[in-house]
Amino acid sequence: MRDTTTHFGFTNVPTSEKVKKVRDVFDSVAPKYDLMNDLMSMGVHRLWKRHAISKLNLQPGDHALDLAGGTGDLALLMQKRMTRSGRVTICDINYSMLDQGRHRLTDEGWLCGMEWVQANAEELPYPSNCFDVVTIGFGIRNVTNIPQALSEMFRVLKPGGKLMVLEFSKIAIPALRPLYDLYSFKLLPEIGHIVTKDRDSYQYLVESIRMFPDQESFKAMIEAAGFFNVRYENLSAGISAIHLGYKV
């Protein structure tokens, strides 16, 4: 049987190969992932993340699942919101990213209430109806089968639970798009080359942003997975967007 294909940036690859290719990218960028995020966004990604977490209305005692949790930025913000009285399970398919985050947050004194799990968002190793909140920040576009991952997020959420997806999106102001393209395709890979000696990984990351659905299309995908009252908020003119949805 011939393998189906999917996109890896602007390139079509066999579906069975995408997970490994994405893993190779993040194995390469993991040691300087946080530094590069600060450089590429001039620190604005931290404001986006804080604003996104503020939308969750987290309560002490909640149990949150942070997918593609990487180096722990969202997990840390959630624990602070829960005043160290909740639990966050950080799940990522990439061991290198988990290792960076676990060491970082342990060094900062955030050992309690954190669980680190290597798993695929398309096949979550959890029973149904067990999390109060599911989040994924800047990771959904790297998933091979996005509808399957959204279905899994819906499955593991408790009734009444909330989904929050923070992801790069489509510029809402057409006049800004040429400038944004220039920055993305010319400057960002060059920054990646200088800082990490890996231009190709950052070229892929830029391309993956362009291949991700626009806000309305992604909203429809979330609704198709079973979520209700789905809405989104553009950040920085649509450079990124917060999508929220609920499970009945």
Residues 136-148: pLDDT tens digits?
999 999 999 999 9
Residues with Cβ within 8 Å of residue 75, at least 6 apart in sequence: 64, 66, 69, 88, 90, 101, 105, 114
Decide: helix, strand or coil at residue 86: coil
Would 95 be classed as within a structural domain?
yes
Decide: helix, strand or coil at residue 90: strand
Count of domains observed in the chain: 1
The answer to whether 5 is a known ligand-binding residue is no
Would 223 be classed as within a structural domain?
yes
Q: What is the pTM of this model?
A: 0.95
Strand boundaries in 84-226, DSSP class E = 87-92, 114-118, 131-137, 157-168
pLDDT band at 112 (very low <50, low <70, confident <90, very high): confident
Percent of the chain with pLDDT over 90: 88
Angle at 162 between CA 158 and CA 167, to 5 degrees: 135
The answer to whether 121 is a known ligand-binding residue is yes
The answer to whether 71 is a known ligand-binding residue is yes
Tell which residue, 45, 106, 103, 53, has the closest CA to residue 80.
Answer: 53
Would 16 be classed as within a structural domain?
no
Would 20 be classed as within a structural domain?
no
Which range of residues forms the domain containing residue 197? 25-246
pLDDT band at 2 (very low <50, low <70, confident <90, very high): low
Would 9 be classed as within a structural domain?
no
Tens digits of residue pLDDT in 61-74? 999 999 999 889 99
CATH number at residue 240: 3.40.50.150
Which pLDDT value is given to residue 1? 42
Residue 89 DSSP label:
E
Which pLDDT value is given to residue 40? 87
Strand boundaries in 26-73, DSSP class E = 63-67
Alpha carbons 19 and 5: distance in angstroms, whole number:
12
Would 17 be classed as within a structural domain?
no
> Reduced to 3 DSSP states, what percent helix, strand and coil does the chain have, rounded to the nearest 5?
50, 25, 25
Percent of the chain with pLDDT over 70: 99
Would 13 be classed as within a structural domain?
no
Tens digits of residue pLDDT in 190-226? 999 999 999 999 999 999 999 999 999 999 999 999 9
Measured CA to CA in angstroms, residue 8 lies from 19, 52, 151, 203, 209 at distances of 10, 27, 22, 11, 11
